[in-house]
Protein backbone atom coordinates (compact mmCIF):
# COMPACT_ATOMS: atom_id res chain seq x y z
CA UNK A 1 0.00 0.00 0.00
CA UNK A 2 2.90 2.39 0.67
CA UNK A 3 4.17 1.86 -2.87
CA UNK A 4 0.69 2.57 -4.21
CA UNK A 5 0.43 5.80 -2.18
CA UNK A 6 3.89 6.83 -3.33
CA UNK A 7 2.92 6.18 -6.95
CA UNK A 8 -0.28 8.24 -6.63
CA UNK A 9 1.53 11.14 -4.94
CA UNK A 10 4.24 11.21 -7.63
CA UNK A 11 1.56 11.13 -10.32
CA UNK A 12 -0.15 14.14 -8.73
CA UNK A 13 2.77 16.35 -7.66
CA UNK A 14 4.24 16.63 -11.15
CA UNK A 15 1.05 17.92 -12.83
CA UNK A 16 0.34 20.13 -9.80
CA UNK A 17 3.67 21.96 -10.05
CA UNK A 18 3.39 22.18 -13.83
CA UNK A 19 -0.16 23.53 -13.89
CA UNK A 20 0.50 25.91 -10.98
CA UNK A 21 3.36 27.64 -12.81
CA UNK A 22 1.32 27.74 -16.02
CA UNK A 23 -1.59 29.40 -14.20
CA UNK A 24 0.77 31.85 -12.51
CA UNK A 25 2.35 32.72 -15.84
CA UNK A 26 -1.00 33.32 -17.54
CA UNK A 27 -2.31 35.47 -14.68
CA UNK A 28 0.96 37.40 -14.48
CA UNK A 29 0.87 38.14 -18.22
CA UNK A 30 -2.70 39.35 -17.83
CA UNK A 31 -1.60 41.68 -15.04
CA UNK A 32 1.34 43.02 -17.07
CA UNK A 33 -0.91 43.60 -20.07
CA UNK A 34 -3.15 45.68 -17.84
CA UNK A 35 -0.34 47.83 -16.36
CA UNK A 36 2.16 47.77 -19.24
CA UNK A 37 1.74 51.51 -19.85
CA UNK A 38 2.81 52.25 -16.27
CA UNK A 39 6.04 50.25 -16.56
CA UNK A 40 7.34 51.10 -20.02
CA UNK A 41 9.60 54.11 -20.50
CA UNK A 42 10.23 54.79 -16.79
CA UNK A 43 13.92 53.74 -16.82
CA UNK A 44 13.37 51.19 -14.05
CA UNK A 45 16.18 48.94 -12.94
CA UNK A 46 15.74 45.22 -13.51
CA UNK A 47 15.88 44.67 -9.75
CA UNK A 48 12.85 46.92 -9.26
CA UNK A 49 10.92 45.10 -11.99
CA UNK A 50 11.88 41.70 -10.53
CA UNK A 51 10.79 42.82 -7.06
CA UNK A 52 7.48 44.10 -8.41
CA UNK A 53 6.76 40.87 -10.32
CA UNK A 54 7.63 38.82 -7.23
CA UNK A 55 5.08 40.67 -5.09
CA UNK A 56 2.46 40.55 -7.84
CA UNK A 57 2.96 36.79 -8.19
CA UNK A 58 2.30 36.37 -4.47
CA UNK A 59 -1.02 38.22 -4.80
CA UNK A 60 -2.09 35.93 -7.68
CA UNK A 61 -1.74 32.70 -5.68
CA UNK A 62 -5.42 32.69 -4.52
CA UNK A 63 -6.54 32.44 -8.14
CA UNK A 64 -3.79 30.13 -9.42
CA UNK A 65 -3.74 27.51 -6.64
CA UNK A 66 -7.38 26.29 -6.78
CA UNK A 67 -7.28 26.18 -10.57
CA UNK A 68 -3.99 24.25 -10.49
CA UNK A 69 -5.40 21.70 -8.02
CA UNK A 70 -8.51 21.23 -10.17
CA UNK A 71 -6.50 20.80 -13.36
CA UNK A 72 -3.86 18.54 -11.77
CA UNK A 73 -6.45 16.26 -10.17
CA UNK A 74 -8.33 15.86 -13.46
CA UNK A 75 -5.08 15.14 -15.32
CA UNK A 76 -3.86 12.64 -12.70
CA UNK A 77 -7.02 10.56 -12.48
CA UNK A 78 -7.69 11.00 -16.18
CA UNK A 79 -4.26 9.56 -17.01
CA UNK A 80 -4.77 6.65 -14.60
CA UNK A 81 -8.19 5.98 -16.09
CA UNK A 82 -6.93 6.21 -19.66
CA UNK A 83 -4.07 3.78 -18.90
CA UNK A 84 -6.48 1.37 -17.10
CA UNK A 85 -4.58 1.85 -13.83
CA UNK A 86 -7.78 2.77 -11.99
CA UNK A 87 -9.44 -0.33 -13.39
CA UNK A 88 -6.59 -2.51 -12.12
CA UNK A 89 -6.75 -0.92 -8.67
CA UNK A 90 -10.52 -1.42 -8.43
CA UNK A 91 -10.12 -5.01 -9.65
CA UNK A 92 -7.68 -5.57 -6.79
CA UNK A 93 -10.39 -4.50 -4.34
CA UNK A 94 -9.16 -0.93 -3.75
CA UNK A 95 -12.00 1.60 -3.70
CA UNK A 96 -11.78 5.08 -5.15
CA UNK A 97 -11.83 6.59 -1.64
CA UNK A 98 -8.71 4.61 -0.66
CA UNK A 99 -7.04 5.68 -3.92
CA UNK A 100 -7.85 9.32 -3.14
CA UNK A 101 -6.79 9.03 0.52
CA UNK A 102 -3.10 10.07 0.15
CA UNK A 103 -4.04 12.95 -2.15
CA UNK A 104 -6.80 14.01 0.24
CA UNK A 105 -4.22 14.23 3.03
CA UNK A 106 -1.91 16.21 0.74
CA UNK A 107 -4.68 18.62 -0.27
CA UNK A 108 -5.60 19.16 3.39
CA UNK A 109 -1.97 20.09 4.10
CA UNK A 110 -1.95 22.41 1.08
CA UNK A 111 -5.20 24.00 2.29
CA UNK A 112 -3.71 24.66 5.74
CA UNK A 113 -0.61 26.19 4.14
CA UNK A 114 -2.88 28.28 1.88
CA UNK A 115 -4.72 29.60 4.95
CA UNK A 116 -1.50 30.75 6.64
CA UNK A 117 -0.34 32.18 3.31
CA UNK A 118 -3.57 34.17 2.94
CA UNK A 119 -3.41 35.36 6.54
CA UNK A 120 0.24 36.35 6.86
CA UNK A 121 1.88 36.54 3.41
CA UNK A 122 -0.92 37.99 1.29
CA UNK A 123 -1.35 41.20 3.35
CA UNK A 124 2.38 41.95 3.12
CA UNK A 125 2.47 41.16 -0.60
CA UNK A 126 -0.58 43.36 -1.26
CA UNK A 127 1.01 46.21 0.70
CA UNK A 128 4.30 45.91 -1.18
CA UNK A 129 2.56 45.64 -4.55
CA UNK A 130 0.30 48.65 -3.99
CA UNK A 131 3.06 50.86 -2.63
CA UNK A 132 5.51 49.96 -5.39
CA UNK A 133 2.89 50.37 -8.12
CA UNK A 134 2.00 53.87 -6.90
CA UNK A 135 5.71 54.77 -6.80
CA UNK A 136 6.15 53.51 -10.36
CA UNK A 137 3.12 55.52 -11.53
CA UNK A 138 4.61 58.67 -9.98
CA UNK A 139 7.97 58.04 -11.65
CA UNK A 140 8.60 60.47 -14.51
CA UNK A 141 9.21 58.83 -17.91
CA UNK A 142 12.57 58.95 -19.68
CA UNK A 143 13.23 61.48 -22.41
CA UNK A 144 11.85 60.00 -25.63
CA UNK A 145 11.81 62.27 -28.69
CA UNK A 146 9.19 61.65 -31.35
CA UNK A 147 9.16 63.12 -34.81
CA UNK A 148 6.87 66.11 -35.32
CA UNK A 149 5.69 66.25 -31.68
CA UNK A 150 6.69 68.59 -28.85
CA UNK A 151 8.32 66.73 -25.97
CA UNK A 152 8.13 68.20 -22.46
CA UNK A 153 9.87 65.36 -20.59
CA UNK A 154 13.11 67.36 -20.33
CA UNK A 155 13.00 69.73 -17.30
CA UNK A 156 12.27 73.36 -18.33
CA UNK A 157 12.57 72.53 -22.05
CA UNK A 158 10.07 71.91 -24.84
CA UNK A 159 11.65 70.28 -27.89
CA UNK A 160 10.33 69.47 -31.35
CA UNK A 161 12.24 67.47 -33.97
CA UNK A 162 10.97 66.95 -37.53
CA UNK A 163 13.15 63.96 -38.42
CA UNK A 164 15.48 61.59 -36.57
CA UNK A 165 18.05 59.35 -38.23
CA UNK A 166 17.82 56.12 -36.22
CA UNK A 167 21.21 54.84 -37.43
CA UNK A 168 23.36 57.91 -36.67
CA UNK A 169 21.14 59.58 -34.05
CA UNK A 170 21.27 62.89 -35.94
CA UNK A 171 18.20 65.11 -35.57
CA UNK A 172 17.02 67.58 -38.21
CA UNK A 173 15.02 70.84 -38.02
CA UNK A 174 15.13 71.28 -34.26
CA UNK A 175 12.96 73.78 -32.35
CA UNK A 176 13.73 74.33 -28.64
CA UNK A 177 11.86 76.50 -26.11
CA UNK A 178 13.98 77.25 -23.03
CA UNK A 179 11.81 77.94 -19.94
CA UNK A 180 14.57 78.01 -17.34
CA UNK A 181 14.07 81.73 -16.60
CA UNK A 182 10.38 81.15 -15.83
CA UNK A 183 9.12 83.95 -18.10
CA UNK A 184 7.48 81.90 -20.84
CA UNK A 185 8.66 81.54 -24.42
CA UNK A 186 11.35 84.23 -24.24
CA UNK A 187 14.27 82.03 -25.32
CA UNK A 188 13.84 80.13 -28.61
CA UNK A 189 16.49 78.19 -30.50
CA UNK A 190 16.18 76.96 -34.08
CA UNK A 191 18.78 74.67 -35.65
CA UNK A 192 19.10 72.71 -38.89
CA UNK A 193 20.52 69.64 -37.14
CA UNK A 194 21.95 68.43 -33.85
CA UNK A 195 22.67 65.54 -31.50
CA UNK A 196 21.83 64.61 -27.91
CA UNK A 197 24.15 62.37 -25.89
CA UNK A 198 23.38 61.28 -22.34
CA UNK A 199 26.27 61.21 -19.86
CA UNK A 200 27.32 57.83 -18.38
CA UNK A 201 25.82 58.74 -14.99
CA UNK A 202 22.53 59.76 -16.69
CA UNK A 203 22.51 63.08 -14.84
CA UNK A 204 23.27 65.40 -17.77
CA UNK A 205 22.76 65.47 -21.50
CA UNK A 206 25.23 67.02 -23.95
CA UNK A 207 23.28 69.00 -26.55
CA UNK A 208 25.12 69.94 -29.76
CA UNK A 209 23.35 72.08 -32.39
CA UNK A 210 24.54 72.98 -35.88
CA UNK A 211 23.74 75.93 -38.15
CA UNK A 212 20.99 77.76 -36.31
CA UNK A 213 19.77 80.90 -34.59
CA UNK A 214 18.95 81.74 -30.98
CA UNK A 215 16.26 84.35 -30.26
CA UNK A 216 16.21 85.89 -26.78
CA UNK A 217 13.93 88.51 -25.25
CA UNK A 218 15.93 90.80 -22.95
CA UNK A 219 14.29 91.63 -19.63
CA UNK A 220 14.25 95.33 -18.73
CA UNK A 221 14.35 96.86 -15.26
CA UNK A 222 11.10 98.77 -15.72
CA UNK A 223 8.02 96.67 -15.05
CA UNK A 224 5.74 99.15 -16.79
CA UNK A 225 7.54 98.79 -20.08
CA UNK A 226 5.49 96.32 -22.14
CA UNK A 227 7.97 96.30 -25.03
CA UNK A 228 11.24 94.43 -24.49
CA UNK A 229 14.31 94.47 -26.69
CA UNK A 230 15.40 91.19 -28.25
CA UNK A 231 18.62 89.80 -29.64
CA UNK A 232 19.46 87.21 -32.25
CA UNK A 233 22.52 85.02 -32.05
CA UNK A 234 23.59 83.12 -35.12
CA UNK A 235 25.83 80.10 -34.66
CA UNK A 236 27.41 77.32 -36.69
CA UNK A 237 27.92 75.08 -33.67
CA UNK A 238 26.46 75.44 -30.21
CA UNK A 239 27.13 73.12 -27.23
CA UNK A 240 25.46 73.06 -23.81
CA UNK A 241 24.75 70.63 -20.98
CA UNK A 242 21.19 70.11 -19.83
CA UNK A 243 20.48 68.50 -16.42
CA UNK A 244 18.23 65.41 -16.54
CA UNK A 245 15.68 64.12 -14.09
CA UNK A 246 16.86 61.53 -11.65
CA UNK A 247 16.07 58.04 -12.99
CA UNK A 248 16.17 56.47 -9.52
CA UNK A 249 12.81 55.31 -8.26
CA UNK A 250 11.64 57.33 -5.26
CA UNK A 251 10.13 54.92 -2.75
CA UNK A 252 7.32 56.24 -0.63
CA UNK A 253 6.30 55.32 2.89
CA UNK A 254 4.40 52.03 2.96
CA UNK A 255 2.51 53.01 6.12
CA UNK A 256 0.17 55.19 4.04
CA UNK A 257 -1.63 52.03 2.83
CA UNK A 258 -1.20 49.83 5.90
CA UNK A 259 -4.75 50.52 7.17
CA UNK A 260 -6.38 49.15 4.03
CA UNK A 261 -8.40 45.97 4.54
CA UNK A 262 -6.30 44.03 2.00
CA UNK A 263 -3.14 44.62 4.06
CA UNK A 264 -4.43 43.17 7.35
CA UNK A 265 -4.52 39.70 8.88
CA UNK A 266 -7.43 38.17 10.79
CA UNK A 267 -6.63 39.77 14.14
CA UNK A 268 -6.06 43.18 12.60
CA UNK A 269 -9.25 42.91 10.54
CA UNK A 270 -11.35 42.22 13.64
CA UNK A 271 -9.73 45.08 15.56
CA UNK A 272 -10.14 47.56 12.68
CA UNK A 273 -13.74 46.53 12.06
CA UNK A 274 -14.65 46.93 15.75
CA UNK A 275 -13.07 50.38 15.95
CA UNK A 276 -14.76 51.55 12.74
CA UNK A 277 -18.08 50.12 13.89
CA UNK A 278 -17.77 52.00 17.18
CA UNK A 279 -17.06 55.27 15.35
CA UNK A 280 -20.06 54.66 13.09
CA UNK A 281 -22.39 54.12 16.06
CA UNK A 282 -21.11 57.29 17.74
CA UNK A 283 -21.70 59.20 14.51
CA UNK A 284 -25.29 57.92 14.37
CA UNK A 285 -25.89 58.97 17.99
CA UNK A 286 -24.50 62.46 17.28
CA UNK A 287 -26.82 62.71 14.26
CA UNK A 288 -29.89 61.82 16.33
CA UNK A 289 -28.89 64.19 19.13
CA UNK A 290 -28.30 67.01 16.66
CA UNK A 291 -31.63 66.49 14.93
CA UNK A 292 -33.52 66.49 18.22
CA UNK A 293 -31.79 69.60 19.55
CA UNK A 294 -31.55 71.74 16.40
CA UNK A 295 -34.50 70.74 14.21
CA UNK A 296 -37.24 68.88 16.09
CA UNK A 297 -37.31 70.58 19.51
CA UNK A 298 -36.27 74.21 19.13
CA UNK A 299 -35.31 75.79 22.44
CA UNK A 300 -36.45 79.30 23.10
CA UNK A 301 -33.77 81.92 23.55
CA UNK A 302 -33.35 83.17 27.13
CA UNK A 303 -33.41 86.78 25.98
CA UNK A 304 -36.82 86.33 24.33
CA UNK A 305 -39.37 88.78 25.69
CA UNK A 306 -42.41 87.28 27.38
CA UNK A 307 -45.58 87.88 25.45
CA UNK A 308 -49.15 87.91 26.72
CA UNK A 309 -49.95 84.40 25.49
CA UNK A 310 -46.93 82.90 27.22
CA UNK A 311 -47.54 84.71 30.55
CA UNK A 312 -51.21 83.75 30.44
CA UNK A 313 -50.43 80.02 30.15
CA UNK A 314 -47.59 79.87 32.64
CA UNK A 315 -49.87 78.63 35.39
CA UNK A 316 -51.08 75.70 33.30
CA UNK A 317 -49.41 72.40 33.84
CA UNK A 318 -49.70 71.42 30.19
CA UNK A 319 -49.88 73.61 27.12
CA UNK A 320 -52.30 72.90 24.29
CA UNK A 321 -50.32 73.62 21.17
CA UNK A 322 -53.37 73.91 18.91
CA UNK A 323 -55.14 76.44 21.13
CA UNK A 324 -51.89 78.34 21.56
CA UNK A 325 -51.44 78.46 17.78
CA UNK A 326 -55.05 79.60 17.19
CA UNK A 327 -54.76 82.35 19.78
CA UNK A 328 -51.93 83.99 17.83
CA UNK A 329 -52.48 86.52 15.08
CA UNK A 330 -52.52 85.53 11.40
CA UNK A 331 -49.11 87.11 10.87
CA UNK A 332 -47.57 85.12 13.71
CA UNK A 333 -49.27 81.95 12.49
CA UNK A 334 -47.78 82.40 9.01
CA UNK A 335 -44.39 83.13 10.52
CA UNK A 336 -44.56 80.02 12.68
CA UNK A 337 -45.56 77.82 9.74
CA UNK A 338 -42.79 79.30 7.59
CA UNK A 339 -40.22 78.72 10.33
CA UNK A 340 -41.44 75.16 10.86
CA UNK A 341 -41.17 74.41 7.13
CA UNK A 342 -37.67 75.88 7.09
CA UNK A 343 -36.60 73.70 10.03
CA UNK A 344 -38.17 70.63 8.37
CA UNK A 345 -36.33 71.25 5.09
CA UNK A 346 -33.03 71.68 6.92
CA UNK A 347 -33.66 68.47 8.84
CA UNK A 348 -34.44 66.60 5.61
CA UNK A 349 -31.27 67.94 3.94
CA UNK A 350 -29.20 66.95 6.96
CA UNK A 351 -30.66 63.45 7.04
CA UNK A 352 -30.21 63.00 3.30
CA UNK A 353 -26.60 64.18 3.40
CA UNK A 354 -25.72 62.07 6.45
CA UNK A 355 -27.50 59.03 5.07
CA UNK A 356 -25.20 58.91 2.03
CA UNK A 357 -22.12 59.44 4.20
CA UNK A 358 -23.14 56.72 6.68
CA UNK A 359 -23.93 54.30 3.83
CA UNK A 360 -20.45 54.78 2.35
CA UNK A 361 -18.84 54.19 5.73
CA UNK A 362 -20.95 51.09 6.35
CA UNK A 363 -19.95 49.67 2.95
CA UNK A 364 -16.32 50.31 3.80
CA UNK A 365 -16.70 48.44 7.11
CA UNK A 366 -18.30 45.47 5.33
CA UNK A 367 -15.18 45.15 3.18
CA UNK A 368 -13.26 44.20 6.32
CA UNK A 369 -15.79 41.43 6.97
CA UNK A 370 -15.52 40.25 3.37
CA UNK A 371 -11.74 40.10 3.64
CA UNK A 372 -12.01 38.16 6.91
CA UNK A 373 -14.10 35.48 5.20
CA UNK A 374 -11.80 35.48 2.16
CA UNK A 375 -8.99 34.12 4.34
CA UNK A 376 -11.01 30.92 4.73
CA UNK A 377 -12.56 30.65 1.26
CA UNK A 378 -9.15 30.13 -0.40
CA UNK A 379 -8.19 26.92 1.46
CA UNK A 380 -11.78 25.65 1.26
CA UNK A 381 -11.81 26.24 -2.51
CA UNK A 382 -8.63 24.13 -2.85
CA UNK A 383 -10.34 21.31 -0.95
CA UNK A 384 -13.57 21.49 -3.00
CA UNK A 385 -11.81 21.64 -6.36
CA UNK A 386 -9.88 18.49 -5.55
CA UNK A 387 -13.11 16.60 -4.86
CA UNK A 388 -14.45 17.89 -8.18
CA UNK A 389 -11.35 17.22 -10.25
CA UNK A 390 -10.45 13.74 -8.92
CA UNK A 391 -13.82 12.03 -9.54
CA UNK A 392 -14.26 14.00 -12.76
CA UNK A 393 -10.95 12.69 -14.07
CA UNK A 394 -11.92 9.15 -13.06
CA UNK A 395 -15.20 9.53 -14.98
CA UNK A 396 -13.94 11.09 -18.23
CA UNK A 397 -10.73 8.98 -18.27
CA UNK A 398 -8.82 11.45 -20.42
CA UNK A 399 -5.35 12.72 -19.56
CA UNK A 400 -3.06 15.33 -21.07
CA UNK A 401 -3.87 19.01 -21.55
CA UNK A 402 -6.84 18.71 -23.91
CA UNK A 403 -10.13 17.81 -22.28
CA UNK A 404 -8.90 18.44 -18.68
CA UNK A 405 -7.96 22.05 -19.50
CA UNK A 406 -11.34 22.77 -21.10
CA UNK A 407 -13.33 21.27 -18.24
CA UNK A 408 -11.16 22.93 -15.58
CA UNK A 409 -11.46 26.36 -17.16
CA UNK A 410 -15.24 26.01 -17.48
CA UNK A 411 -15.63 24.96 -13.85
CA UNK A 412 -13.31 27.72 -12.64
CA UNK A 413 -15.09 30.40 -14.69
CA UNK A 414 -18.41 29.22 -13.26
CA UNK A 415 -16.98 29.36 -9.73
CA UNK A 416 -15.31 32.74 -10.31
CA UNK A 417 -18.49 34.37 -11.69
CA UNK A 418 -20.53 33.19 -8.71
CA UNK A 419 -17.78 34.29 -6.33
CA UNK A 420 -17.52 37.78 -7.84
CA UNK A 421 -21.31 38.16 -7.88
CA UNK A 422 -21.60 37.15 -4.23
CA UNK A 423 -18.78 39.46 -3.23
CA UNK A 424 -20.39 42.35 -5.12
CA UNK A 425 -23.73 41.73 -3.37
CA UNK A 426 -21.90 41.65 -0.03
CA UNK A 427 -20.14 44.96 -0.80
CA UNK A 428 -23.45 46.59 -1.78
CA UNK A 429 -25.09 45.33 1.47
CA UNK A 430 -27.53 43.15 -0.48
CA UNK A 431 -26.26 39.97 1.22
CA UNK A 432 -24.48 39.45 4.55
CA UNK A 433 -20.70 38.95 4.18
CA UNK A 434 -20.95 35.35 5.40
CA UNK A 435 -23.44 34.52 2.63
CA UNK A 436 -21.88 36.57 -0.16
CA UNK A 437 -18.35 35.26 0.34
CA UNK A 438 -19.34 31.60 0.81
CA UNK A 439 -22.13 31.27 -1.75
CA UNK A 440 -19.79 30.05 -4.50
CA UNK A 441 -18.35 27.34 -2.25
CA UNK A 442 -21.82 26.28 -1.08
CA UNK A 443 -22.95 25.92 -4.70
CA UNK A 444 -19.87 24.00 -5.83
CA UNK A 445 -19.74 21.68 -2.78
CA UNK A 446 -22.85 19.59 -3.70
CA UNK A 447 -21.42 19.16 -7.18
CA UNK A 448 -18.25 17.65 -5.71
CA UNK A 449 -20.30 15.30 -3.54
CA UNK A 450 -22.39 14.13 -6.51
CA UNK A 451 -19.33 13.59 -8.73
CA UNK A 452 -17.55 11.63 -5.98
CA UNK A 453 -20.61 9.41 -5.57
CA UNK A 454 -20.94 8.88 -9.32
CA UNK A 455 -17.25 8.05 -9.68
CA UNK A 456 -17.42 5.60 -6.76
CA UNK A 457 -20.37 3.76 -8.29
CA UNK A 458 -18.77 3.82 -11.79
CA UNK A 459 -21.70 5.78 -13.16
CA UNK A 460 -21.34 6.85 -16.82
CA UNK A 461 -22.20 10.50 -16.33
CA UNK A 462 -20.66 11.69 -19.59
CA UNK A 463 -21.85 8.80 -21.74
CA UNK A 464 -24.06 10.46 -24.35
CA UNK A 465 -25.59 7.15 -25.46
CA UNK A 466 -27.28 6.76 -22.06
CA UNK A 467 -29.04 10.09 -22.45
CA UNK A 468 -30.05 9.22 -26.04
CA UNK A 469 -31.55 5.92 -24.87
CA UNK A 470 -33.40 7.72 -22.08
CA UNK A 471 -35.09 10.13 -24.51
CA UNK A 472 -35.86 7.28 -26.90
CA UNK A 473 -37.82 5.53 -24.15
CA UNK A 474 -40.07 8.56 -23.84
CA UNK A 475 -43.00 7.99 -26.26
CA UNK A 476 -45.02 11.19 -26.76
CA UNK A 477 -47.87 9.23 -28.45
CA UNK A 478 -48.53 7.10 -25.35
CA UNK A 479 -48.49 10.23 -23.20
CA UNK A 480 -51.15 11.99 -25.27
CA UNK A 481 -53.30 8.82 -25.46
CA UNK A 482 -53.35 8.53 -21.66
CA UNK A 483 -54.19 12.22 -21.36
CA UNK A 484 -57.10 12.04 -23.86
CA UNK A 485 -58.46 8.88 -22.25
Q: What angle do CA 133, 139, 144 make, to 5 degrees?
A: 125
In a domain, 305, yes or no: no
pLDDT at 47 over 80: yes
What is the per-residue pLDDT for 42? 65
* pLDDT mean over 276-298: 77
Q: Is residue 78 one of the residues assigned to a domain?
A: no
Please give the pLDDT value at position 459: 62
pLDDT band at 286 (very low <50, low <70, confident <90, very high): confident
Q: Answer whether residue 145 is part of any domain.
A: no
**For all residues of the chain together, what is the average pLDDT?**
78
Average pLDDT over residues 344-369: 83
How far does Cα 280 stand from its chain's mean position? 25
- Number of folded domains that form the chain: 1
Beta strands in 94-253 (DSSP E): 157-164, 171-178, 187-198, 204-217, 230-243
What is the percent of the chain with per-residue pLDDT over 90, rounded to a whole number? Answer: 3
User: Which residues are 239's β-sheet partners?
Assistant: 208
- Spatial separation of the C-alpha atoms in residues 316 and 236, rounded to whole Å: 105
232 three-class SS: strand
Q: What is the pLDDT of residue 312?
A: 47
Could you tell me which residues come within 8 angstroms of residue 241 by beta carbon, excluding any fewer than 6 positions away? 204, 205, 206, 207
Mean pLDDT computed over 273-294: 82
Please report which confidence band the pLDDT of residue 295 belongs to, taking 50, 70 and 90 as the band edges.
Answer: low
pLDDT for residue 300: 52
Closest Cα partner for 159 from 37, 230, 244, 36?
Answer: 244
Residue 151 has pLDDT above 60, yes or no: yes
**Lowest-pLDDT range, 92-101, 182-191, 276-285, 286-295?**
286-295
Task: Determine contact, residues 73/104, Cβ cutoff 8 Å.
Answer: no
234 within 8 A of 245, measured Cβ to Cβ? no
The answer to whether residue 331 scores a pLDDT higher than 60 is: yes
**Over the stretch 375-387, which tens digit does the pLDDT of each residue have?**
898 888 888 888 8
Would residue 285 count as lying in a domain? Answer: no
With both helix axes pointing from N to C terminus, report the angle between 61-82 and 46-59 in degrees, rounded to the nearest 10. Answer: 70
pLDDT at 315: 46
Closest CA to 170 of 122, 204, 209, 127: 209
The mean per-residue pLDDT over the stretch 203-219 comes to: 82
pLDDT at 314 over 70: no
**Position 105 pLDDT exceeds 60:** yes
pLDDT for residue 466: 55
Neighbour order of strands in the sheet with 157-164: 157-164, 171-178, 187-198, 204-217, 230-243
Task: Determine contact, residues 135/251, Cβ cutoff 8 Å.
Answer: yes
Per-residue model confidence (pLDDT) at position 304? 46
Q: What is the pLDDT of residues 156-207, one digit of tens each?
A: 778 888 888 877 778 888 888 888 777 777 788 898 988 888 777 767 778 8
Least-confidence region, from 241-250, 295-304, 423-432: 295-304
262-281 residue pLDDT tens: 888 888 888 888 888 888 88
Mean pLDDT of all residues in 343-351: 79
Question: Pick the residue with more confidence: 226 or 324?
Answer: 324
pLDDT at 11 over 80: yes
Q: Is the model's pLDDT at 305 over the cut of 50?
A: no
Q: What is the 3-state secondary structure (H, E, C) of 262-296?
A: HHCCHHHHHHHHHHHHHHHHHHHHHHHHHHHHHHH
- What is the pLDDT at residue 479? 47
Structural domain of 194: 157-243
- Asked if residue 68 is part of any domain, the answer here is no
Q: Which residues fall within 8 angstroms of residue 135, CB to CB, at 6 or more apart?
A: 249, 250, 251, 252
Residue 56, phi then psi, degrees to nearest 5:
-65, -40
Ranges 1-15, 63-77, 302-316, 337-351: which has the least confidence:
302-316
**pLDDT for the residue numbered 297:** 60
pLDDT-derived band at 109, boundaries 50, 70, 90: very high
Amino acid sequence: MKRLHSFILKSFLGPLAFTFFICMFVLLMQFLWRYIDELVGKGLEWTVIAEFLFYVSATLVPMALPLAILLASIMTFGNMGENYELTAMKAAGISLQRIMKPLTTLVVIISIIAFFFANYVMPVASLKTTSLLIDIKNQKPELILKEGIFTNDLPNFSIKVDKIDKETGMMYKILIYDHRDGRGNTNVTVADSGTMVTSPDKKNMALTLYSGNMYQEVKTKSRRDKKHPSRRIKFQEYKTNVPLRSTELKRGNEDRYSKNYKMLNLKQLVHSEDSLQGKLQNEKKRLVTGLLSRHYFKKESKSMRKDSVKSKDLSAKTLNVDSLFKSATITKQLTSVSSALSFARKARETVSRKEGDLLVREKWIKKFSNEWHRKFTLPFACFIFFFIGAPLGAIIRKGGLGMPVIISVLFFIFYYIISMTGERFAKELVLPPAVGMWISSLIILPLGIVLTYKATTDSAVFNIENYIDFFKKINPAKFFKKKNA
